[in-house]
Amino acid sequence: MSVAGHVMRRLSENVFMKLVMSPRANPTDGIFPSSSTYIDVSEYARFAFVVMVGGTDDTSITAQVVQATAAAGTGSKNVTGAALTSTVLAGSNDNKWSIIEVERNHLDLSSTFQYVALDVAATGGSASAMAIMFYGWRARKLPPTFGSDLGEQIFVDG
C-alpha cells in the first residue's frame, strides 16, 4: 500500500526496537543498556528512549541521554536537553511513561559521537518498578535486524 508515493510498511519494518531494561522491581541506578554496550545510532535519523514506571515511592526519577564515541562508552557526555525531569514519573505519579526523542544530528557528530545510552537514577524512596525501551527509525536500510530480546512477531494483515 502507498500513500502519496510513500510505501507503507509494518512498524517492525520501519522501527528498530530494543528492550534496554527489562521490567524489574527496584532497579539499580546506572547506564542502560549498560556502561559498556551503548547503542550505535549511526543508521537512524531519530531515536528515542521510553521509560515506563509502575508503582513507586521514589520522590525523584531522572533519565538523561548520554552519547559516546564507542560502544564501550568512550568519552561519554550528556546530550543537551535530552533529559526527564525529576518528579514527572515519581511520587504519586504511579503507572506512567515518558519518552525522550532525539534527532541524531543533535549528537556531537563532528567528534564522532554516534553511540547512546540512558543514565537513570531514582532517589528518595525504597521501591519502584521500571522498564526502558529504545526505538530507532528512519534507518538507512530496512528492515532492521532485531536482537535476542525479540520474542516473536505476529502480523494480522493482508
Interval 56-87: pLDDT, tens: 888 999 999 999 999 999 999 999 999 998 88
pTM of the model: 0.89
Q: 10 Å Cβ neighbour count for 108? A: 15
Residue 72: Cβ within 10 Å count: 14
CA distance 23 to 10: 25
Helix (H, G, I), strand (E, B) or coil at 150: coil
5: left (phi over 0), alpha (psi -120 to 50) or beta: left
Helices (H), 17-154: none
Pseudo-torsion of CA 110, 114, 115, 118, nearest 10°?
70
Dump the DSSP string for 42-70: TT-SEEEEEEEEEEE--SEEEEEEEEESS
Question: And the C-alpha cell for 89?
Answer: 514519573
Tell me the per-residue pLDDT of 2-60, one tens digit each, with 9 for 90 and over.
445 556 578 888 899 999 999 999 888 999 999 999 999 999 999 999 999 998 888 99
Instruction: Enumerate domains of the chain plus CATH numbers.
Output: 17-137 (2.60.120)
